[in-house]
Amino acid sequence: MVRGDDFDVIGFDADDTLWRSEDFFAEAEVMFSEVVGPYAPEGIDVLDSLHAIELDNVPISGYGVKAFALSMVQAAVTATGGTVPAQVIGDLVDYAHEMLMHPVELLDGVPEALAAVGRTHRLVLMTKGDLVHQTRKVRTSGLEHHFAHIQIMLEKDVENYRRILDEWSIDPRRFLMVGNSVRSDILPILELGGAGVHVPYHLTWGHEVVHEPGDGFAELESLRDLPTWLASPSV
Amino acid sequence: MVRGDDFDVIGFDADDTLWRSEDFFAEAEVMFSEVVGPYAPEGIDVLDSLHAIELDNVPISGYGVKAFALSMVQAAVTATGGTVPAQVIGDLVDYAHEMLMHPVELLDGVPEALAAVGRTHRLVLMTKGDLVHQTRKVRTSGLEHHFAHIQIMLEKDVENYRRILDEWSIDPRRFLMVGNSVRSDILPILELGGAGVHVPYHLTWGHEVVHEPGDGFAELESLRDLPTWLASPSV
């Protein structure tokens, strides 16, 4: 018996699992620092201000580019004591809109891996983030046809996973979730009796608690390795 | 036989059907005009600029308060030629965050109507808009327990309705949709073979095409009248 026989359905996270996401936020922070920094008084770290405002805003505006853009505007005004020119703020918003329209950049081996595992398993996509932006990315990625169901979730917690798997008539004990975040993609599914494969990404959001790979889930270097892992003997 | 016997499930729109929404955008526009207007050159209509930018941004950032906030920032910079003070822009974003946190204001008779029709029918909620904001409104409204399913949709078109009703195993021919928008809540459901009840709201979003009540769907003055309508003899 091979590992793949243990599962009927495989769920995939999207950002930093199927395509690049965190890189674009990191690039935006460099830009923010360059254009806003010169207007801040000496001794002010504009990125510290941005990070603190982002964290404060999560319960109000959630994750995603639009929430990030509003936090950039607030941080630009706050960290410069209101001295930043309006045009610079306009540029920040334009930059965010470009992020929303940026072409999807798939990670290494993703289309091949989905095609391979899609021959033996039903695939679903379960991703956090902004409804408009995630929908655009799914549609334009060329990957949409691989997935029987696509759900954009507000929070990836046990209760939400349970509700959605139930709606899709998926038995969690026959479900494998693949993603780059142990906290969001793996641990809730383990709690529901399912299995997880962690595919770490080189960047992790600053506010995400980093877990060590532990018992109960596997870790792969690349999504490219998933078909081979599924075809390996079950232990 | 009464009308209610024609349906197993009743779907509800949320914004301006269960609770006030468009009023808050109208109030925000008054505020925008007051704080940004004084920095615009003579002959510039700052609200015209805001409306045009909003419409341009719909495909990029969608509907909802966060998209509206980013459009306000862009319009403030554009319509004033960059002369608006940064602090005014900061105030626009603060105002938007207050909109996101504003307590839900239910429309007249809504809890009573849902309690009444919930005794004879399964209820579902199908709403457009921002994932974070709509989820907060549903959770804090005290109405969540009435609904067997809740879906926040990117677009209320035939294809999306069909997919979601199918996921919930709802036969569209036994489905009644109730909402304030003929275009979003009624026409797609009629096309799927279902029925619609239009409950107009006194404000309609400027970009929404207004339809006349026509054949194929009923119009009620208030959601309060829904139980009586369902209990009337079927024609």
**For A34-92, what is each residue's pLDDT tens digit?**
999 999 999 999 999 999 999 999 999 988 999 999 999 999 999 999 999 999 999 99
The amino acid at residue A115 is A
Examine the pLDDT at A171 and tell me if it is beyond 70: yes
On whether both B163 and B190 belong to a single domain, the answer is yes
Residue B216 DSSP one-character state:
T
Model ipTM value: 0.88
Contacts of A234 (CB under 8 A, 6+ apart): A1, A2, A3, A5, A6
Last residue of a domain, one of B101, B123, B158: B101
Q: Is B53 strand, coil or helix?
A: helix
Query: Is B223 a residue whose pLDDT tops 50?
Result: yes
Q: Which of A89, A100, A154 sits opposite B132 (nearest CB)?
A: A154
> Above 50 in pLDDT, residue B35?
yes
Chain CA centroid to CA B138, Å: 13
Give the closest-approach CA distance of B153 to chain A in angstroms.
Answer: 8
Domain containing A161 — which CATH number? 3.40.50.1000
Q: In what order do the strands lie in the sheet with A9-12?
A: A147-153, A122-128, A9-12, A175-179, A195-198, A217-219
Question: B63 and B89, same structural domain?
Answer: yes
Q: Which residue of A has its CA nearest to B74?
A: A90
What was the pLDDT predicted at A26? 96
If asked whether residues B125 and B31 sit together in one domain, one would say: no
Domains of chain A: total:
2
Does the pLDDT value for residue B54 go beyond 70?
A: yes
Closest residue by Cα to residue A164 from A189, A132, A141, A196: A189
A103: Cβ contacts below 8 Å, ≥ 6 apart: A140
Share of chain B above pLDDT 90, in %: 87
Q: State mean pLDDT over A109-136.
A: 95
Q: Which residue in chain A has the smallest CA separation from B62?
A: A132
Same domain, yes or no: A62 and A163 = no
pLDDT in tens, A194-213: 999 999 987 655 444 455 55
One domain for residues A68 and A159: no
Per-residue pLDDT tens for A11-27?
Answer: 999 999 999 999 999 99
Same domain, A137 and A202: yes
pLDDT band at B140 (very low <50, low <70, confident <90, very high): very high
Q: Search chain B and give the residue with CA nearest A39.
A: B86
Q: Which chain B residues are within 8 Å of A70, Cβ to Cβ?
A: 66, 69-70, 93, 96-97
Question: What proportion of chain B, given as a percentage, has pLDDT over 70?
Answer: 94
Q: What is the pLDDT of residue B216?
A: 76
Task: Please tell me the predicted confidence (pLDDT) of residue A207.
Answer: 47
- What pTM was computed for the model? 0.89
Which pLDDT band, with edges at 50, 70 and 90, does B156 fall under? very high
Same domain, A127 and A89: no
Confidence (pLDDT) at B207: 47
Among A82, A85, A130, the residue with its CB nearest the CB of B82 is: A85
Between B140 and A234, the more confident residue is B140
Q: Are residues B113 and B221 in the same domain?
A: yes
A69 and A159 belong to one structural domain: no
How far apart are the CA of B227 and the nearest CA of chain A, in angstroms?
Answer: 28
Min Cα distance B75 → chain A (Å) is 9
B69 and B134 fall within a common domain: no
Backbone angles phi, psi at B192, to 5 degrees: -85, 0
pLDDT per position as a tens digit, B84-124 = 999 999 999 999 999 999 999 999 999 999 999 999 999 99
* A54 touches A63 (CB < 8 A): no
Domain holding A33: CATH number? 1.10.150.240
Please say if the pLDDT value at position B208 is more than 70: no
- Give the per-residue pLDDT at A234: 78
**Length of chain A counted residue by residue:** 235
Q: What's the pLDDT score for residue A235? A: 65
pLDDT for A179 beyond 50: yes
| Mean pLDDT score, B45-62 | 95
For position B206, what pLDDT does the model report?
47
Q: Within this chain, do residues B176 and B192 fall inside the same structural domain, yes or no?
A: yes
- Residue B98 has which token pair? 């207050």
Residue A235: inside a domain: no
- Say how far apart CA B10 and CA B175 lie, in whole Å: 6
How do residues A144-162 score in pLDDT, each as one tens digit? 999 999 999 988 999 999 9
Q: Same domain, yes or no, for B177 and B207?
A: yes
Q: What's the rounded Cα separation, in Å, for the pair A14 and A180?
A: 9
Q: State phi, psi for A108 to the nearest 5 degrees.
A: -55, 125
Task: Reduce the secondary structure of chain A to three states and give it as a string.
Answer: CEHHHHCCEEEECCECCCECCHHHHHHHHHHHHHHHHHHCCCCCCHHHHHHHHHHHHHHHHCCCHHHHHHHHHHHHHHHCCCCCCHHHHHHHHHHHHHHHHCCCCECCCHHHHHHHHHCCCEEEEEEECCHHHHHHHHHHHCCHHHEEEEEEECCCCHHHHHHHHHHCCCCHHHEEEEECCHHHHHHHHHHCCCEEEECCCCCCCCCCCCCCCCCCEEECCCHHHHHHHHCCECC
Domain that holds residue A186: 3-19+105-230
Q: What's the residue count for chain B?
A: 235
Across B17-23, average pLDDT: 96
Q: Is the predicted pLDDT of residue B209 greater than 80, yes or no?
A: no
The domain boundary residue, chosen from A77, A101, A125: A101
Size of interface A-B (CB pairs under 8 A): 102
> What is the reported pLDDT for B154?
87
- Tell me which chain A residue has its CA closest to the CA of residue B65: A61
Interchain pair B70, A93: CB under 8 A: yes
Contact B70 A97 (CB under 8 A): yes
In a domain, A76, yes or no: yes
pLDDT number for residue A204: 59
Average pLDDT on B70-91 reads 98
Please check whether residue B179 is in contact with residue B128, taking contact to mean a CB–CB distance below 8 angstroms: no
Distance between CA atoms of residues A220 and B56, nearest Å = 42
Residue A23's contacts (CB-CB under 8 Å, 6 or more residues apart) are A203
Which of B101, B121, B138 delimits the end of a domain?
B101
